[in-house]
Structure 1
Amino acid sequence: MSENVPSRGLDPQGYIEREGSLARVPHAFRPVVAMARDGLLDVFGSRLHSAYLYGSIPRGTARVGRSDLDLLVALREEPTDADRDAVRALGDALDKEFPEIDGVGTLLYSRARLLSEQETYDLGWFVACLCTPLLGDDLAEYLPRYRPDALLARETNGDLALLLPRWRARIEAAGDSEEALRPLVRFMSRHLVRTGFTLVMPRWNGWTSDLGEMAAAFGTYYPERAEQLREAAVRGHEPTGDRAVLLSYVDDLGPWLADEYARVHGVKAPRPD
């Protein structure tokens, strides 16, 4: 792909367009979205600043029985452990109630952190470009517009080297249980594909959330690693509980990608634990 040709996902000024909308939520997933909205109001009440959908459901690409429900919640103050327990319980209840979804993942932050200078090109970008407003005032109104440049690449995924030891610990804790390994394969596959894509994003000059398109864009610039990322993109959609796959991620693809990312874009600014 020529670097001078406009890529998908950008507006005429070259900014990343916000993806997803409530209008794109497939009919099969609307009841679970409605119950999630009501559940968040019940759990947090006036402490809730805003809530968002992200992922395949608001993009309209979700698959019944295969896709998970992804939520981001902004509270008016810092979340507590009790708050995290509450959203996990809500997610478990939704997952049990609705066979249309395969799990629920909820990100929980304070409004102040999402709008902080430190998070402008990470969580702030995530809210402004990848999240669809579900409840409350949209924080995107307080955030800048974003281009697919090296600063965005560094601050979104320039911390892979820090994550790999944690991934190894999670793999070890899962043992040989396919039930425990399968969600790790899905999560780590998706994370590596997205990291591979943002590595080349400034050269590709665009944005996509499609794992296959991400892997293809990466392969244009790193053909020697293209097949690994293509396979990871497949596993991101159709995960299996394969421990060998996970070990290949933390022993080979992950370390290489972390080193190349640091060489090309630098390392993400430190964050609080």
Structure 2
Amino acid sequence: MRKTTFENSGEERKKLTLPSRKGVDSNGFIINPTGKNNIQPSFKPVLYAVVSLLQELFTEKVHSIYVYGSVGRGEAKEGLSDLDLTVILHSPLTDAETHMLHGATERLLQGFNTISKVDYDLNLYQDVLAKENVYEHGFWLRHMCTCLYGEDLATNFKRMKPNEKVSLALNKNFLQVVSHYRQALLEETLSASKKRTILKRMIRGVYLKINVQDESWSTDITENLSIIQHYFPDERLFSDVEHMLHSEEELSQETLLIVVESFLNWYDKQR
């Protein structure tokens, strides 16, 4: 494949040879960036307290528990980062059990100040192992998570290279999600955290449209944006997104709405 190198005049933009092949090994297989040894010591107490909570509340239902995201990668920031857990269940939680879980989690977190909140990704055992979900659940466990409790289902799946089936599975309903964000910006006053989530989701969504071409699997949002900018070097929209992503000032809801609307128009033209 032809290699191309771009260099932006901005100080923060570095040379990048395309395809970048970020996040893959010498044979092109995706590298799992998470691991027990990566978890920072300051996050271990709250992590294992939440794992113990899940075991206590749902002893019979919980099959296995996995960490992913910044805590699993060892990149979490105290007081700012979320704790992201994938939980495999033998049967669904009832509404009452879901309510109980959220309440118990809130009470537990009162004793810790290292994480902002816990996000539970709940999945059923039979769905995870279903053949039609190998590029979604199978990929996710094998390449994005580390098992903390129970039987590690990741061992049921082979290593993968970047491919369209994975990107499509993880990026499904992307336009609908961004359109929903646009409506929320029009109707609600969003928190600073929610506004940054919108910004990151747009970046991630575009990256998943080009990562197969780039032969890469980057989990870093800043790196995602850098790769995007090298594939679309003349697109002003991504310079605006970059400025908003790195700004220390609170993100203006009105400005973000303009960017989201511009993004939707741009994305529609790419299809």
The bucket for the TM-score relative to the shorter chain is 0.7 to 0.9
Q: 2:133 aligns with which of 119, 125, 139?
A: 119
Q: Is 1:248 the equivalent of 2:258?
A: yes
* 2:66 and 2:147 in contact (8 A); partners too: yes
Deviations 1:85-116 (A, max 9, x none): 23322432343221111122111111122223
Alignment counterpart, residue 242 of structure 2, candidates 230, 234, 251 = 230
CA distance in 2, matches of 1:26, 1:149: 31
Whole-angstrom CA distance in 1 between matches of 2:64 and 2:37 = 18
**Corresponding residue of 2:7:** none
2:230 is the counterpart of 1:220: yes
Q: Tell me which amino acid in the other structure corresponds to 1:202.
A: V
Q: Which residue of 2 aligns with 1:38?
A: 52
CA pair 146-257 structure 1, distance change in 2 beyond 3 A: farther
In the alignment, is the contact (CA less than 8 A) between 1:88 and 1:106 conserved in 2? no
Amino acid at match of 1:256: W
Q: Which residue of 2 aligns with 1:109?
A: 123
Q: Counterpart of 1:243 in structure 2: which amino acid?
A: Q
| Larger proportion of helix | 1
Task: Confirm or deny: 8 A CA contact 1:185 1:239 kept in the other structure.
Answer: no
The offset of 1:135, in angstroms, is: 0.9
Equivalent position to 2:65, from 51, 54, 61: 51
Distance 1:257 1:136, change over 3 A: farther
Work out whether residues 19 and 213 of structure 2, in 8 Å CA contact, stay in contact via their aligned partners in 1. no
Using structure 1 for the length normalisation, give the TM-score.
Answer: 0.83
Matched positions, count? 254
Question: 1:82/1:168 Cα in 2 relative to 1: closer, same or farther (>3 Å)?
Answer: farther
**1:63-94 CA-partner distances (Å, limit 9, x unpaired):** 11111111111101233333432332243234
Quote the residue 1:12 is aligned against. Answer: 26
Partners of 2:186 and 2:110 lie apart in 1 by 27
Question: Residue 201 of structure 2 aligns with which residue?
Answer: 191
Q: Secondary structure at the match of 2:87?
A: strand
How far, CA to CA, are the matches of 1:245 and 1:135 in structure 2? 43
Q: Distance in 2 between matches of 1:154 and 1:43?
A: 34
| Structure-2-length-normalised TM-score | 0.83
> Secondary structure at the residue paired with 1:120?
helix
Corresponding position of 1:91:
105
Equivalent residue number for residue 270 of structure 1? none
CA distance in 1, matches of 2:243, 2:25: 30
Q: Does 1:200 align with 2:214?
A: no
Which residue in 1 is equivalent to 2:4? none
Q: What is the DSSP-based 3-state SS (H/G/I as helix, E as strand, rest coil) of the residue aligned with 1:72?
A: strand
- Tell me the C-alpha RMSD between the 2 structures: 2.4
Question: Does the 8 Å contact 2:29/2:162 carry over to 1?
Answer: yes
What is aligned with 1:160? 174
Structure 2, unmatched stretches of 5+, are: 1-15
Classify the secondary structure of the residue corresponding to 1:12. Answer: coil
After superposition, the Cα gap between the structure-2 partners of 1:103 and 1:152, relative to the gap in structure 1 and judged at 3 Å, is same
Amino acid at match of 2:156: Y
Shift of residue 162 of structure 1? 2.1
Shift of 1:258: 5.8
The AA in structure 2 aligned to 1:189 is L
Gaps of 5+ in 1: 264-273
